[in-house]
Amino acid sequence: MTTVAEAYSALRTRLAGGYSATPIFWQNENNQLPDAPSAFVFAAFSTSPQSLIATGGGRGGNLFRTNATFECFVFVPLASGLADGLAKAESIAALFRGQRFSGLSCEAAQVDPQPVKYDGADWSGNYSAVAAIIDLYFDQVG
């Protein structure tokens, strides 16, 4: 069964192994924007409260499901057009859409041309964003 830390690690590994068009920045890391605006991805992982989905093993033997979202914001220089960001976001979404790996079940993977700005980011007004939003879940026994 999968923990939150294992899920995050699996998502990082899959994205880094399947996407190389731009640098990838991660939550709570020392991400340095380039001096001249150029495209990059900012990846954010969040979970929802767990749900009990099956009982029967007694204490320590019940099955819990965690729903999660993996958002990959593709930032492109402001006024560079929408097409490049959409293409990059779609290539990321395609890595995850309908896939199962490392105990994760990825379901929908959509591209949003107007995502909400990520609260932890300050992009200094030099970028426009498109997002690949991956809905997934993983199970844990407890």
pLDDT tens string 18-46: 999 999 999 999 888 888 889 999 999 99
Distances (CA, A) of 123 to 31, 46, 51, 78, 136: 11, 21, 36, 11, 27
Q: The pTM is what? A: 0.90
pLDDT tens string 82-108: 899 999 999 999 999 999 999 999 999
User: Could you give all domains of the chain from N- to C-terminal order, each with its CATH number?
Assistant: 4-141 (3.30.2000.20)
